[in-house]
């Protein structure tokens, strides 16, 4: 084996230094950027945790004004077993009536993930809500949620869209406002600049509706990103495309006939590579001698991936 002498080692070290110095010059800004981004995410997570804690305290103190201070004027809220609430006035009315019909409210949220996108912060997590409805036994409500927060110029957060639902089946009579008359759906017209985007989502919805009618469970996962989160009704979070695939294979029961499916859009909020969509749906079904109509709503967060296709990044549905 040929060994380098001292002079050769000196030349080698000098050559390596010429290579490594520019490498580290290039690497340092990348590391600094990643560190800064992690710090921003950490700061926002602390903000959201604080807001969630304030909301819980306001609910427990039955302070409606303190509850609604977190909502944007154009906020939409999607309670389970209730129609969509389309503005902060309707949300305030909902909580006033909820508090009149319940006592001993105890509430807690736990953040699973946050994602900062253009002008918005996405939050997913789980919750527990213990309460006693007048004339009923105490009820333990446990489930998952999605929040869409708007980030203003001063980095303050206001809640622009939310949905929540149970992680398991429960009877709708357990919810004090479940007998409310369904409110009409309010659809915000698509802006001309967003028409092509809306058309793409409408096409995807039509294809999904076709798969529902065909009960073609294995085909659904193609509409999701690899790291997607899906939150169907009466089910815990389903995380990742493989898990979503398994869910749909089991869920699309061929013993249930689907006569009609309508999946519609009520609002679109573009956010760079992401598109935030509020939706609503109707499903007519038959099974044996039974039949029915299921109505519900959803938050769908579509992501434009590198191949140019829109796929679902986060999605949650619940029943009216």
Distances (CA, A) of 133 to 99, 261, 316: 9, 34, 26
**What's the predicted TM-score (pTM) here?**
0.88
pLDDT at 183: 83
Write down the domain spans for the chain.
37-172, 192-319
CATH 3.10.450.50 given to domain 37-172: yes
- Cα Rg of the chain, angstroms: 24
Distances (CA, A) of 10 to 7, 19, 264: 5, 15, 71
pLDDT at 41: 86
pLDDT at 20: 59
Domains 37-172 and 192-319 share a fold: yes
Confirm if 56 and 109 have CB atoms less than 8 A apart. Answer: yes
Phi-psi region of 234 (alpha: psi -120 to 50; beta: other; left: phi over 0): left
User: The CATH number of 192-319 is which of 1.10.1040.10, 3.90.1150.10, 3.10.450.50, 3.40.50.300?
Assistant: 3.10.450.50
pLDDT at 27: 65
- pLDDT beneath 70: ranges in the chain: 1-37
What contacts 80, CB < 8 A, 6 or more positions away? 143, 164, 165, 166, 175, 233, 318, 319
pLDDT at 1: 47
pLDDT at 64: 98
């Amino acid at each position: 084996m040929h060994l380098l002498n001292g002079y050769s080692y000196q030349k080698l070290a000098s050559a390596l230094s010429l290579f490594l110095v520019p490498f580290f010059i290039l690497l340092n800004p990348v590391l600094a950027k990643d560190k800064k981004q992690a710090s921003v995410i950490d700061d926002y997570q602390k903000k959201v945790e604080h807001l969630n804690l304030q909301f819980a305290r306001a609910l427990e103190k039955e302070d409606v004004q303190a509850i609604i201070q977190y909502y944007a004027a154009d906020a939409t809220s999607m309670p389970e077993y209730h129609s969509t609430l389309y503005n902060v006035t309707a949300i305030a009315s909902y909580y006033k009536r909820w508090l009149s019909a319940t006592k001993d409210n105890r509430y807690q949220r736990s953040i699973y993930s946050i994602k900062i996108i253009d002008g918005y912060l996405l939050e997913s997590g789980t919750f527990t809500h213990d309460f006693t409805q007048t004339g009923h036994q105490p009820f333990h409500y446990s489930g998952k949620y999605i929040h869409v927060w708007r980030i203003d110029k001063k980095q303050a957060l206001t809640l622009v869209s939310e949905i929540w639902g149970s992680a398991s089946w429960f009877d709708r009579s357990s919810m004090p406002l479940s007998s409310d008359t369904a409110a009409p759906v309010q659809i915000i017209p698509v802006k001309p600049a967003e028409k092509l985007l809306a058309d793409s989502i409408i096409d995807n919805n039509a294809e999904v509706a076709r798969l529902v009618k065909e009960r073609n469970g294995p085909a659904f996962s193609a509409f999701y990103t690899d790291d997607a989160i899906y939150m169907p009704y009466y089910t815990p979070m389903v995380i990742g495309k493989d898990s979503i695939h398994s869910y749909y294979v089991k869920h699309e029961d061929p013993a249930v006939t689907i006569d009609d499916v309508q999946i519609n859009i009520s609002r679109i909020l573009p956010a760079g590579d992401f598109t935030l969509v509020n939706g609503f749906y109707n499903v007519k079904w038959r099974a044996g001698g039974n039949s029915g109509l299921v109505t519900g709503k959803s938050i769908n967060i579509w992501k434009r991936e590198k191949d140019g296709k829109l796929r679902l990044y986060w999605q949650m549905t619940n029943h009216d």
